[in-house]
Amino acid sequence: MTDSEHPRIVVLGAGFGGLEFCKRFDEQTARITLVDRTNHHLFQPLLYQVATAGLSAVDIAQPIRSILSDRPNITVLLDEVEGFDLAGKKVMLTKNTLSYDYLVLALGGCTSYFGHPEWEAYAPGLKTLDDAMRIRSRILRAFEQAESETSPAAQERLMTIVVVGGGPTGVELAGAFAELARHVLKADFRRIDPSQAQVILLEAAPRILARVPPTLSASAQRQLEKLGAQVRTGVKVQNITEGRVDLDNGETIHAANIIWAAGVSASPVTKKLGVELNRAGQIKVRADLSLPGHPEVFAIGDMALVLEKDGSPVPGVSPAAMQMGTHVARIIENEIAFPGGVERPAFKYWDKGTMATIGRSAAVAKVGRFEFSGVAAWLAWLVIHLIFLVGFRNKIAVLFQWFYSYVTYKRGARIIASPEAPAPPGK
Ligand SMILES: Cc1cc2nc3c(=O)[nH]c(=O)nc-3n(C[C@H](O)[C@H](O)[C@H](O)COP(=O)(O)OP(=O)(O)OC[C@H]3O[C@@H](n4cnc5c(N)ncnc54)[C@H](O)[C@@H]3O)c2cc1C
């Protein structure tokens, strides 16, 4: 088969799922085009550390071209997906239209405000590098403003951070903000006492970290409170406006910074596919991860709704997206090698465990039947995140930053780059 006769595979999204597909696929047997609207692969599990001044943006991102530079059959395009013509086997991008024999959809998700998109302007979510840098800038700027304020009430408002959503991201953010205020900023200000800052984590469910057993949730809450964060469970947010959160129990919290870590939905482009979606916009895929009626199109990662044997959905985590990328790579490779003669296996998720870090020497983890918390869980979290972080330079840089912060209680990434307060997202 000549190169031009090789099947064309278009992969949309170079996140965990799309990139894993490209790495795992034997690229000699097909021409692959990988499209992403950013030029980098982002390691989202460490985004909260950029938002809380622990790491720099470049430490957790890697140029897609550079990751795939030794793969001559993979073309990388910086472009945005706009629409689909599934019948004509075409994808419309902002600058190109691509034809395919196989299409792999791996566009991930976005922050969901549960029907209140207007809250985004006052409570930014954390999904991209821009989000993380915007949050960091707002938090640091609030402490700077508090130092210039004379009114105690204004100082209190400026030094209050509300995190909405007690999942892993909310827990990680709350713990890191509490540490930032109590240990890192404490010595740097003269008129205010940053250790008096309030970090409030709000969760509507009766406990935080709903995916881990109740004993670990309780441990996480204790570890957060030890760091100085307040954890309020069983409270629902009713409204968010500039600097103000109204709760369903009638209480109002005034806070200069409100961070939204409560909801995720699939990429909005799934609505353009004309296939069945769930309420979060995820595509209801078949057992082999293909779209009903379109065996040549697959959806993987956060944008796919995949059900396990017991009917529960496969969680939106990076190992699931990577496993789906590998699964689809094997299916397409087999079909190219043995046209028309292979049965497609169903996808099976291998749950390797759940963990969340809370702060210095504080974390919770559940791996198989084993549950652990504190230093052991924290060390396991550090090692696993270093292993999966893409790029040797990034691994070294992150390891160095963590060591430096651990020893000195300082955080390097505390520069406010923009002179003006950054615009809220969506503006
Ligand atoms: C703050 C945060 C913390 C997390 N922490 C953890 C954790 O600790 N452990 C864990 O396992 N998981 C974690 N996750 C979840 C994990 O990151 C996701 O499950 C995983 O990224 C899903 O992979 P994906 O390939 O489906 O999508 P993504 O990795 O999100 O990749 C989607 C890609 O598509 C691109 N894209 C999107 N729309 C378009 C478009 N219209 N045109 C072109 N390109 C587009 C994006 O730029 C991106 O590169 C976290 C997520 C977040 C946001």
| Predicted confidence (pLDDT) per residue in 216-239, tens digit | 999 999 999 999 999 999 999 999
What pLDDT, in 10s, does the model give residues 380-412? 899 989 888 887 788 888 888 888 887 777 776
**Residue from 172, 179, 203, 335 carrying the catalytic annotation:** 172
- pLDDT of residue 426 exceeding 60, the answer is no
Ligand 1 atom with the smallest distance to the CA of 320 is 19
Ligand 1 atom with the smallest distance to the CA of 303 is 26
- pLDDT of residue 117 exceeding 60, the answer is yes
Nearest CA to ligand 1 atom 12: 317
Nearest CA to ligand 1 atom 53: 127
Q: Is 219 strand, coil or helix?
A: helix
Q: Give residue 172's pLDDT band: very low, low, confident or very high (50, 70, 90).
A: very high
Give the torsion sign (CA, 55, 175, 16, 427). Answer: negative
State mean pLDDT over 340-344: 83
Ligand 1 atom with the smallest distance to the CA of 269 is 41
Written as one string, the DSSP assignment of 136-180 is: HHHHHHHHHHHHH---HHHHHHHTEEEEE--SHHHHHHHHHHHHI
Q: Indicate if 296 belongs to the active site.
A: no
List the one residue out of 426, 396, 390 whose CA is nearest residue 42: 390
What pLDDT, in 10s, does the model give residues 247-281? 999 999 999 999 999 989 999 999 999 999 999 99
The pair of structure tokens assigned to 239 is: 């409204």
**pTM recorded for the entire structure:** 0.93
Q: Which of the listed residues 11, 16, 22, 81 should we mutate to test ligand 1's pocket, taking the one with most ligand atoms within 8 A of CB?
A: 16
Q: Residue 152 corresponds to which amino acid?
A: P
List the one residue out of 70, 11, 94, 30 whose CA is nearest residue 321: 11
Q: Give residue 341 CA to ligand 1 midpoint distance, Å.
A: 34
State mean pLDDT over 43-51: 95
Q: Which secondary-structure segment (H or E) carries 225?
A: helix 214-227
Q: Residues enclosing ligand 1, CB less than 6 A? A: 13-18, 35-38, 44-45, 47-48, 80-81, 106-108, 126-127, 168-169, 267, 269, 301-302, 316-319, 321
The pair of structure tokens assigned to 3 is: 């190169």
C-alpha torsion 150→151→157→158, nearest 10: -10
* DSSP, res 422: P
Q: Which of the listed residues 91, 133, 163, 318 should we mutate to test ligand 1's pocket, taking the one with most ligand atoms within 8 A of CB?
A: 318
* DSSP, res 125: B
Ligand 1 atom with the smallest distance to the CA of 36 is 44
Q: Give residue 138's pLDDT band: very low, low, confident or very high (50, 70, 90).
A: very high
In angstroms, rounded to a whole number, what is the distance separating the alpha carbons of residues 48 and 100?
37
Give the torsion sign (CA, 189, 192, 196, 201). Answer: negative
* DSSP, res 190: S
Nearest CA to ligand 1 atom 19: 317
Ligand 1 atom with the smallest distance to the CA of 261 is 1
Between strands 244-247 and 283-284, the pairing is: unpaired
The pLDDT mean for the chain works out to: 92
Q: Give residue 295's pLDDT band: very low, low, confident or very high (50, 70, 90).
A: very high
Between strands 61-63 and 40-42, the pairing is: antiparallel
Q: Give residue 108 CA to ligand 1 midpoint distance, Å.
A: 5
* DSSP, res 302: G
Nearest CA to ligand 1 atom 38: 107
Distance of CA 88 to the CA centre of its chain: 33
Instruction: Specify the pLDDT at position 90.
Output: 98
In angstroms, rounded to a whole number, what is the distance separating the alpha carbons of residues 293 and 332?
17
Residue 220 φ then ψ, to 5°:
-60, -40
Q: Give residue 270 CA to ligand 1 midpoint distance, Å.
A: 15
Number of helical H runs and strand E runs in the chain:
10, 25
In angstroms, rounded to a whole number, what is the distance separating the alpha carbons of residues 238 and 123?
13
Instruction: Specify the pLDDT at position 192.
Output: 96
- pLDDT of residue 243 exceeding 70, the answer is yes
Of residues 323 and 387, the one with the higher pLDDT is 323
The pair of structure tokens assigned to 97 is: 């239209």
Instruction: Specify the pLDDT at position 427.
Output: 37
In angstroms, rounded to a whole number, what is the distance separating the alpha carbons of residues 172 and 169?
5
Residue 163's contacts (CB-CB under 8 Å, 6 or more residues apart) are 170, 173, 174, 177, 199, 200, 201, 202, 259, 261
C-alpha torsion 199→200→206→208, nearest 10: -30
Q: Give residue 176 CA to ligand 1 midpoint distance, Å.
A: 21
Q: Give residue 44 CA to ligand 1 midpoint distance, Å.
A: 6
Between strands 74-78 and 81-85, the pairing is: unpaired
State the Cα angle at 268 between 263 and 272, rounded to 5°: 150
Nearest CA to ligand 1 atom 48: 15
